Amino acid sequence: MTTQHDTSTSGAEAPAGVPSQPAAAKTGFAATDVLVNEFGAVDTVERAFETPDELQPHTELGLKDDEYDRIRQILGRRPTASELAMYSIMWSEHCSYKSSKVHLRQFGEKAPKNTRMLAGIGENAGVVQISDELAVTFKVESHNHPSYVEPYQGAATGVGGIVRDILAMGARPVAVMDPLRFGAADHPDTARVLPGVVAGIGGYGNCLGLPNIGGEIVFDPCYQGNPLVNALSIGVLPVERLQHKEAAGIGNIVVLLGARTGRDGIGGVSVLASATFDEGAEQRRPSVQVGDPFMEKLLIESCLELYDAGLVAGIQDLGGAGLTCALTETAAAAGTGMRVWLERVPLREASMSPTEILASESQERMLLIVTPEKLDEVLAVAEKWGVWATAIGEVTPSESDGHPGRLLITWNDQTVVDVPPGSLADDGPVYARPIREPADLILLQADRAETLPRPTTPEELRETVLRMIASPNLCDKTWVTEQYDRYVLGNTVLAQPEDAGVLRIDEKTGLGVALSVDGNGRYARLDPYEGAKLGLAEAYRNVAVTGAEPIAVTDCLNFGSPEDPAVMWQFAEAVRGLADGCQQLGIPVTGGNVSFYNQTGAAAIHPTPVVGVLGVLDDVASRVPMGFPPPPSADGDLLFLLGDTECELSGSEWAWVTHGHLGGRPPKVDLAHEQRLGKLMSQAAEREHIVAAHDLSDGGLSQVLVESCLRRNVGARITLPGHDEAVTPFVWLFSESAGRALVAVPRGHDKAFLALAKEHGVSCTPIGATTEEPVLDIQGQFTLGLDELREAFTATMRNLFGGSAEVGTRAIPDAVPAASRSVTLELTDPAATNVQPAGTASGSAGDAAEPVAASAPFATATGSAASGSATETGSAAAAGSPASGSPGAAGSSAVSGAPAADEPPASLPGGPVDAKPAAAPAPTDNAGEAEKN
């Protein structure tokens, strides 16, 4: 590709170390020479001093009058248009946590002492040490509103954003998870949103080569018009490779790495787009960001190589608020200043104004801090991987009076931003909003589900089991999970529908981690304090039943409007419950996310705290799956129910499915018992006393028996314990009492297991055994064949959303806008001076490219950008072990042509994405997939 150079005046002279033609000589980039936007002139700091009384649209951008007055006080003048946009973004609820910060402090104040945590709240993601050499970073975030507006891209970019958070900590991302909540399963809008969301998650994660190892799918009318799309990612890093975001080192260079900057995402920041442009302005990209997983894959590999070479002094991903957030947070974290030449930012559309560039949420971008002597090496690595890398600024010192430095941003020699970065990143408004218990709560809690009519005869119980397992929340979710690659990379040991996802981290030692995400909005609606603790307890228990030791927590707190005192009471109680619960369990909250304004009109969603728990397994070979293994003899394995069963039906799936009822108080939770149960499970797994384990939660014992039998097509004969008026056969089957698990114990291990349970103070009730006959026999009550159970269990999603899902064919065309499916998107101004580096994927939807000649190969993402050889530098697809940042062996990756415009490539050239070198595969427990599917 011919390199175009900017021949216009470059603006203020750059200091030593910063190229005057930013990176053009190295990577073919040139700064745009656009100076005038639709307004006709740029609003500069000089002009702001000259026009102090000019009216500004601060309320339209979401700023209150007192907040605007405070900005003027901080600056000693009115803000420029760019500064006003920056403050409106950074002081928004999404970025500043202004309504939640006073409550979130409890996570730090109540945090138990912990020697594992290397990075916590305030960083891009929490990091915990799992061995002498290795650490794990994980985090869950929300992308709720974009996923309703544009389900495919909203969900896809949610995955991309959380993966970059993990990457920014120095880790190789190794897996994702997706807790999802939708409106009523049979509602027409759910049929629009769900397929697009699932296709977006699968499309982005699969292209990155990341297994999707778990999650949730919940249906409830309260989420109608406001689905919850939460995304979790986990990564692995050597302890010494931990990265931070501080822009330290006076004179260090600020480098923008990754995709070019476009207009996508601007509308997601308040009403910035409409405040910036007239109605007659040119059509702009959708407010939802557009993702390009192939560019993200190249960005991941380039960053990991930069880390391993020691070329990065600081790094921050560009997600919500884009450059505005990245620049202010990196400078504020170090207490330094920063000088930025904004015209050097590579653009997809040359007509973009300074305000748009700063507010753009274009995906697949990172901000690096690099020492001047290493800049050439950084640019060379970027060129090798075919990603844009542009030196756009430098780190400047603190003020002479000792105050932190200032963020100075110029646009072709005109200063458009001059602010203290801490005022944006750290010193936004903090509100102690009014809180009030919901007016209907007392009556709601008095309406107990335990008083509802319930089945009593064996035939009624049988029919209830079939109805329950076919209900949308309890039915088989293979329709969704088959659209995700769960075993790519060869390190997945357990994945959906297991209680927790389990990954092998170290091939030599077998070291692994377990992850689960859980939450129950109905429980939290009835009692947000106990509901949050119940969500924590379930995630903790899901990890524990695999044999792992739970060690850390992340959370995503989804609530309605913080301006509603009842919602803020729910939020305050849920945070208090989660903080108290973590303190009692002795595991810290490492980070997370708050998502407010989840409501349609005046109707808020149920308070929905989603909790992720991470656990460690010394050897994944000792992991415990949920499915009963084939009986070793005609007698089968013995089945024990751990924990106590009470008549606790309020908030249960049975009450909702059968009666449409929500009322009463949720089950009681005993976190000391959860700890004892966890220790019992870990030791029993280590001593091989158990061969299967499944926690009891939604649907109770009935659901667990069905899932455990169908997982490997193994029957069970169950004798329900003795009962009284309170705990009847129905209660044994459908109660949702917390702190329980079902375990399968090999004959000959039962005495040792019972002794171990007694030692840990966990009640252990024998309830039956597995059998070679394919039936679930609840003796004295009813018998159900596994074929009948399977038909009821698996038919619901097919009936609701169509036949067998086919990734990329059935769901994607309806979900993806035509513009984002197009292989080649033309620039608004084809004569723009920003040029794509050789070797970059030309047809990515997220990074609109110049028209490509018909003879040009598609996505020659690997190899040397200078020579075009795909064999000199190796394939982007060949990666080492999860902890390694270096690519694997070189491989040929030439591609002869491009796919059709509406048909994304199946993988990067050169083989499967992130393919590992030949090694022993991790032990998996997917033997029952064929029978189950």
Task: Yes or no: say if 107 and 444 are a contact pair by the CB < 8 Å rule.
Answer: no
Structural domain range at position 481: 103-239+437-587+598-801
For 543-570, the DSSP string reads: HHTTT-EEEEEEEEEE-S-TTSHHHHHH
Q: Is residue 630 part of a domain?
A: yes
Measured CA to CA, the distance from residue 189 to residue 800 in angstroms comes to: 12
Domain contains 656: yes
Determine, yes or no, domain membership for 662. yes
Q: What gap in Å lies between CA 134 and CA 117, rounded to an integer?
A: 12
User: Is 885 inside a domain boundary?
Assistant: no
Same domain, 340 and 449: no
Instruction: Report d(CA 215, CA 234) in Å as an integer.
Output: 13
Q: How far apart are CA 921 and CA 846, in angstroms?
A: 34
Q: Give the model's pLDDT for residue 838.
A: 38
The overall longest dimension of the chain from CA atoms, in Å, is: 91
pLDDT per residue over 848-874, tens digit each?
333 222 222 222 233 333 333 333 333
How many other C-beta atoms are found inside a 10 Å radius of the C-beta of residue 351? 18
**One domain, residues 654 and 506:** yes
Which single residue is written with the structure tokens 């759910």? Answer: 190
For position 203, which CATH number holds?
3.30.1330.10
- Residue 556 within any structural domain of the chain: yes
Give the pLDDT of residue 612: 98
Token output for 266:
């601007």
Contact by Cβ (8 Å): 138, 612: yes
Distance CA 389, CA 375 (A): 10
Instruction: Tell me, yes or no, whether 731 and 668 share the same domain.
Output: yes
The upper half-sphere exposure of residue 308, i.e. CA atoms within 13 Å in the direction of its Cβ, equals 16
Residue 187 CA to residue 184 CA, distance in Å, equals 5
Q: Strand, helix or coil at 234?
A: strand
Cα separation, 88 vs 932, in Å, equals 51
* Spatial separation of the C-alpha atoms in residues 766 and 638, rounded to whole Å: 8
The one-letter amino acid code at 792 reads: A
Helix (H, G, I), strand (E, B) or coil at 910: coil
Please check whether residues 205 and 235 belong to one and the same domain: yes
Looking at 764, 782, 801, the residue that finishes a domain is: 801
pLDDT of amino acid 428: 92
The reply to whether 143 belongs to the active site is: yes
**Options 58, 103, 143, 673, the catalytic residue:** 143
360 and 473 assigned to the same domain? no
Closest CA to 650 of 825, 564, 530: 530
Question: Which tokens go with 723?
Answer: 């009962």
Residue 724: per-residue pLDDT: 73
Residues 216 and 278 in one domain: no
Low pLDDT (below 50) residues in the chain? 1-13, 15-40, 269-286, 805-919, 927-933
Residue where a domain stops, chosen among 766, 801, 836 = 801
Q: How many domains does the chain have?
A: 2
Rounded Cα distance between 817 and 182, Å, is: 21
928: in domain: no
Cα angle: 152, vertex 162, 577; to 5 degrees: 110
| Domain end (from 382, 402, 425) | 425
Report which of 444, 434, 430 is spatially closest to residue 561, judged by C-alpha positions.
434
Tell me what pLDDT residue 268 has.
55
What's residue 840's pLDDT?
38
3-class state of residue 194 by DSSP:
helix
3-class DSSP assignment, residue 177: strand
- The C-alpha atoms of residue 177 and residue 613 are separated, in whole angstroms, by 12
Q: Are residues 115 and 91 in the same domain?
A: no
- pLDDT tens digits for 216-239? 999 999 999 999 999 999 999 999
Q: Which of 778, 766, 676 is nearest to 717 (CA)?
A: 778
262: domain CATH number is 3.90.650.10
Q: What is the 3-state secondary structure (H, E, C) of 99-152?
A: CCHHHHHHHHHCCCCCCCEEECECECCEEEECCCCEEEEEEEEECHHHHHHCHH
* The pair of three-digit structure tokens given for residue 561, joined into one six-digit string: 């409007």
Predicted pLDDT at 923: 63
> Do residues 256 and 395 share a domain?
yes
Check: CB of residue 163 under 8 Å from CB of residue 318: no
Q: Which position among 94, 661, 694, 760 bears the catalytic label?
A: 94
- The DSSP 8-state label assigned to residue 694 in this structure reads E
User: Are 344 and 289 found together in one domain?
Assistant: yes
How far apart, in whole angstroms, are the C-alpha atoms of residue 54 and residue 233?
Answer: 46
pTM: 0.84
**Residue 837 maps to a domain:** no
* Structure token digits, residue 829: 């101004």
What pLDDT does residue 443 have? 98
Nearest CA-CA partner of 156 in 198, 218, 99: 198
Same domain, 646 and 714: yes
> In this structure, are residues 534 and 670 in contact, taking their beta carbons and an 8 Å threshold?
no
**186/39 same-domain check:** no
Cβ neighbours of residue 787 closer than 8 Å, sequence gap 6 or more: 774
Q: Is residue 830 part of a domain?
A: no
**DSSP string for 22-71:** TTHHHHS---------TTSS---HHHHHH-TT----TTTTT--HHHHHHH
Question: What token pair was written down for 642?
Answer: 């751990």
Residues 280 and 413 in one domain: yes
